[in-house]
Amino acid sequence: MSWLSSLKSVFSPSKEVNEEAVQNVLQNYILPNSSNALKDRITQVNVQGEILQITLNTYPEEKEQLQQIHDELAEALQKCGIQELNMHVIQQKTGPKSKNSGGCGHNHAEGESCSSQPAAPQKPDLPPVVDASAQAEKAEDADPNNPPIQKAAPQQRDVPKHPRIQNVILVSSGKGGVGKSTTTVNLALALKKMGLRVGVLDADIYGPSIPTMLGNAGKTPMIEAEQFVPLDAYGMAVLSIGHLTGDHNTPVAWRGPKATGALMQLFNQTLWPDLDVLMIDMPPGTGDIQLTLAQRIPVTGAVIVTTPQNVALLDATKGIELFNRVQIPVMGVIENMSTHICSNCGFEEQIFGTGGGDKLSEQYQIPLLGRLPLDAKIRENADAGKPSVIAGDEAADSYMLIAEKIAAQLPKAEKDHSRIF
C-alpha cells in the first residue's frame, strides 16, 4: 500500500474488501475528457468497513463530470467489496492554464509553481507609495475614544451550513442553576423518540454535565483522520469537553479565546453523522463564548430556559436581546421549576413565583413552550444517567409536548444544491 501510505489515510476495511483491487481502481482511473489521472488529485482516502471516502481537488470546468466520476468509481469499487462511496470535492478557484495563455499546461493548484517554467523576475521588496496627507486629515477628525469599525461582525446569513447537520438549536439561559442542561438532554431524547436524528454538543465548557446525565462520563471519544468520533448515548451522537478532560475533578481554567477555540474545534472537527437536529447546551450568561458561537455556527433557533424568579427573568432577557442582535430567532421560552408538589402531603406551591414565562412571552412575542415542575425524580434520574424521557417519570410527557412544539418550528429539510451527492 505504498501509494495509499503516502496519503493522510485511515484504512480499516472489512474482510470482504480487496485492498489491492481498491488501490488499482483509484490508481488507474483517468478523469473523463482528459488525460489526468485520479490519483494525482486525491488528497485523502478513508476506508471504514465497506465504506470508502475520498477527498480530491477539481477545477471549475470539471463540474459537469463529477457525477460521472462518482458513478463510474462506485461501480468499479463495488466489485472490490466497497458498498458505499463518499466523494468530497475541493474545487480550486482556477483551472490549469494552457501554454498558449502563458501557463505551463500542467494541473497545478492555484498558487503552485512549476519547475519547468522560468522563474519570474522578483519585484523589489519595497512598500507601496501612499498619500499620507489625506490619511492625516482623517486621523485628525477621528474620535480617539470611538475608533471606526474596520470590519463588520459576522452575521448569521453569512455562516455556511454544516454539510451533515440540518438544524442547530441552542439551549440557553441567562444564569446557571435553572435546569438548562437537564432540559437539553430531555428535549434531545424526546426529539429522538419522535424519529429525528439527533446529536448533542455540550458547550458548557466550565461546567460540563451532559456526560453524567447521559451515562457516559469517563468515556473518551476516538480520533479518526484527525477528527473526533462522537460517543453514542441512547442512539444520539454526543460530545462534550467533559469527555476530554478525564477526571471529574479536573477544572477547565481557560480564558475566553482558548475556550471558544476549543468549542469551534468540537463543532467543526468532529465526524458528526447526518443529523436532523444538533442540540447545543450553551454556557449560562451572555459572554464571549455565546457571542462567538452565535456568529460562527449556523443556528436554526434558540430556546431560553428560565425559572419564574425575577432574577432569572432579568438574565434571560439579556439572552433574548443577544440572540435578537445576532439575528438568531428565539423559538420560545421554557419555564422550569414552575411549581412544586410535596411528595408527602401533595401540597402545591410556587417556590420561585408565578407568571415569569408568561411575562417573557408577552414582552418579546415569543411562544411559551411549556412549564416543568420542580420534581426530585427529574434530578434523581438525571444523576443516574437515565433522564426523564428514558426513565418515563411524570415529567416525560411535558418534555415530549415541548419537543413537538420545537419540531413544528423546524424548517422543512431541503436538498443542498451546492453538494454533489
Q: Which pLDDT tens digit goes with each residue over 55-94?
A: 888 888 888 888 888 888 888 888 888 888 888 778 776 5
Give the residue among 249, 187, 188 at the shortest CA–CA distance from 218.
Answer: 249
pLDDT mean over 258-262: 73
Predicted confidence at residue 414, as pLDDT, reads 53
C-alpha–C-alpha distance, residues 352 and 305, integer Å: 14
Cell of residue 361, nine digits: 412571552
Q: Which residue shows C-alpha cell 426529539?
A: 191
Predicted confidence at residue 127, as pLDDT, reads 43
Beta bridge partners of 108: none
In which band, very low, low, confident or very high, does the pLDDT at 399 lie, cut at 50, 70 and 90? Answer: very high
In which band, very low, low, confident or very high, does the pLDDT at 10 lie, cut at 50, 70 and 90? Answer: low
- Does the structure show a pLDDT above 70 at 413? no
Taking the C-alpha atoms of 294, 295, 300 and 301 in order, what is their torsion angle to the nearest 10 degrees? Answer: 30
pLDDT mean over 381-401: 93
Share of the chain above pLDDT 70, in %: 76
pTM given for the model: 0.61
What average pLDDT is seen over the chain? 78
Cell of residue 97, nine digits: 492554464
Residue 279's φ and ψ, nearest 5 degrees, are -90, 125
Highest mean pLDDT among 111-115, 132-136, 237-241: 237-241
Q: Going from the N-terminus, what domains does the chain have, and what CATH number goes with each?
A: 2-91 (3.30.70), 156-409 (3.40.50.300)
- Single-letter amino acid code for the residue at 109: A
* Least confident among 187-191, 205-209, 361-365: 205-209
pLDDT: which is higher, 340 or 420: 340
Predicted confidence at residue 421, as pLDDT, reads 39
pLDDT: which is higher, 342 or 4: 342
* Least confident among 166-170, 221-225, 247-251: 247-251
Cell of residue 328, nine digits: 438568531
pLDDT mean over 38-54: 82
Q: Tell me: the pLDDT tens digits for 116-129?
A: 444 444 444 444 44
Predicted confidence at residue 256, as pLDDT, reads 57
Number of other residues whose CB lies within 10 A of the CB of residue 198:
26
Share of the chain above pLDDT 90, in %: 25
Cell of residue 172, nine digits: 440557553
Give the residue among 371, 406, 376, 407 at the shortest CA–CA distance from 391.
Answer: 376
Strand (E) or helix (H) holding 396 = helix 396-409
* Least confident among 345-349, 367-371, 378-382: 345-349
pLDDT mean over 95-120: 49
Number of other residues whose CB lies within 10 A of the CB of residue 7:
18
- Does the structure show a pLDDT above 70 at 372? yes
Predicted confidence at residue 132, as pLDDT, reads 41
Predicted confidence at residue 347, as pLDDT, reads 79
Predicted confidence at residue 237, as pLDDT, reads 95
* Least confident among 186-200, 322-336, 395-409: 322-336
